Amino acid sequence: GAVVSQHPSRVICKSGTSVKIECRSLDFQATTMFWYRQFPKQSLMLMATSNEGSKATYEQGVEKDKFLINHASLTLSTLTVTSAHPEDSSFYICSANPNRVGETQYFGPGTRLLVL
Amino acid sequence: SQKIEQNSEALNIQEGKTVTLTCNYTNYSPAYLQWYRQDPGRGPVFLLLIRENEKEKRKERLKVTFDTTLKQSLFHITASQPADSATYLCALDSGGYNKLIFGAGTRLAVHP
């Protein structure tokens, strides 16, 4: 149990375009999901907390207009990278937990974004 | 400032040995700490969670300790195998709502 999926697994896009990444909890509901980015050989950096039915909470230094987050249901959160640039190329990972405080996070397999 | 440090960027060991990874933190008071495994190009996979009132947790060949006085967690793998080769990440909660802050990770390579 506790499976989180992401789609797409990898995407290549041209500079200036927008890219949407989906994160789904397949067998549990998640009021809260988290979005991370990871550069090569570096750790996961939390970008934002996605809250079902309300606005996302962004970490310091993360542009909310650049990284749009929508948590439309208890099993789906989307991250849209708007007007992507080469420096946005990274590994984006989402996580969720089954609505219980102190529970482990279940991570998606990640999405590799390459902006040309 | 708040910091989480994993003391080794990379470790190379022989199969069968026991290895200990370290996670130190400053200016946090986590209610729990977690260890994850991450393989290249994949998302992290949960291994163990230890709470602030627990000294030790075990799962098969894995053991985690948590010393809130020293602000340190140790992660042990006994009888290591080449399949244990991966990056190991420690993460602690940053004060509620299940928000995790990760260390930089330790890359472990177990050689046959």
pLDDT tens, B3-61? Answer: 899 977 899 999 999 999 999 999 888 888 999 999 999 999 999 999 989 999 999 99
Digit-coded pLDDT (tens) for B60-88: 999 999 999 999 999 999 999 999 999 99
Work out the percent of chain A whose per-residue pLDDT is above 90.
Answer: 74
Name which of A43, A46, A104 is nearest B34 (Cβ-Cβ): A104
Sign of CA dihedral A70, A42, A2, B75: negative
Query: Is the pLDDT reported for residue A106 higher than 60?
Result: yes
A86-90, A96-100, B89-93, B107-111 — which is least confidently predicted?
Answer: A96-100
> A12 vs chain B: nearest CA distance in angstroms?
16
CB-CB under 8 Å, A46 with B101: yes
Task: Look up tokens 């799962």; give the residue.
Answer: B59
Name which of B51, B100, B105 is nearest A105 (Cβ-Cβ): B100
> A44 vs chain B: nearest CA distance in angstroms?
6
Q: In this predicted structure, what is the pLDDT of residue A31?
A: 86
A97: nearest CA in chain B? B98
Contacts of B10 (CB under 8 A, 6+ apart): B106, B107, B108, B109
Tell me the backbone φ, ψ of residue A88, rounded to 5 degrees: -85, -10
- Name the pLDDT band for B97 (thresholds 50, 70, 90): low
A65 Rama sector, left if φ>0, alpha if ψ -120 to 50, beta otherwise = alpha
Q: In this predicted structure, what is the pLDDT of residue A4?
A: 95
Q: In this predicted structure, what is the pLDDT of residue B96?
A: 63
- Name the pLDDT band for A1 (thresholds 50, 70, 90): low
Residues from chain B that touch A37, judged by Cβ atoms under 8 A, are none
B49: nearest CA in chain A? A104
Residues from chain B that touch A45, judged by Cβ atoms under 8 A, are 102
CB-CB under 8 Å, A91 with B51: no
CB-CB under 8 Å, B105 with A105: no
Digit-coded pLDDT (tens) for A55-100: 999 999 999 999 999 998 999 999 999 999 999 999 999 999 876 6
Query: Is the pLDDT reported for residue A101 higher than 60?
Result: no
Identify residues of A whose CB sits under 8 angstroms from chain B CBs: 4, 6, 32, 34, 42-46, 49, 91, 93, 95, 97, 101-110, 112
- Name the pLDDT band for A15 (thresholds 50, 70, 90): very high
Query: Is the pLDDT reported for residue B2 higher than 80?
Result: no
Task: Look up tokens 């542009």; give the residue.
Answer: A63
Query: Is the pLDDT reported for residue A5 higher than 90?
Result: yes
CB-CB under 8 Å, B105 with A43: yes
Q: In this predicted structure, what is the pLDDT of residue B9?
A: 82
